Amino acid sequence: MSGIDGIIYLILIACLLPYVFTIIAKVAGGFRIRDNQDPREFLAKTTGLAARANAVQQNSFESLPLFIAAILMAEYMVVPQYFTMMMGSAYIVLRMIYAICYLLNLATLRSIIWFLSMACPIILLITIIRML
């Protein structure tokens, strides 16, 4: 991947990731069609793996605006493409590792990986600030 097509793929993947964990949460929680009347209440009452998958989904949505803003600003400000792709790809990979740690209930490692994943868009934004 390179150029704007790579940026688009990074954003698409980041946007789809939360839904993967929504599906995992629902399947692990025993979701049935009748539960679709109030799926948020259903997910709020889950425990164990389903509750952790739901937490991953929520956290993934929470981190998404920062990632998208950083990637788009980097493209707009003409940050070197390789660096934008490296930070964006690292964010995606780290978010996947974060999710695995969360699902496996590895709290300390999960927190470290979360920090590293959030550092990627922040580093991009700091790079942009330094370019001004």
For 87-109, how does the pLDDT look when each residue is reduced to its tens digit (9 = 90+)?
Answer: 999 999 999 999 999 999 999 99
Inter-residue contact 115 to 122 (CB < 8 Å): no
Q: How confident is the model at residue 119 (pLDDT cuts 50, 70, 90)?
A: very high
Dihedral (Cα; 10, 114, 78, 130), 10-degree rounding:
180
92: nearest Cα among 122, 123, 69, 60? 60
Q: Write out the two tokens for 51.
A: 């509750």
pLDDT value at residue 3:
72
Taking the C-alpha atoms of residue 76 and residue 57, their distance in angstroms, rounded to an integer, is: 29
Element (H, E) at 8: helix 3-28
Q: Give the mean model confidence (pLDDT) for residues 58-85.
A: 96
Residue 108, sorted as left (phi over 0), alpha (psi -120 to 50) or beta, turns out to be alpha
Inter-residue contact 67 to 91 (CB < 8 Å): yes
Taking the C-alpha atoms of residue 128 and residue 132, their distance in angstroms, rounded to an integer, is: 7
Domains of the chain: 3-131 (1.20.120.550)
For 3-52, how does the pLDDT look when each residue is reduced to its tens digit (9 = 90+)?
Answer: 789 999 999 999 999 999 999 999 999 988 776 888 889 899 999 999 99
Q: Is the dihedral of CA 83, 86, 89, 90 positive or negative?
A: negative
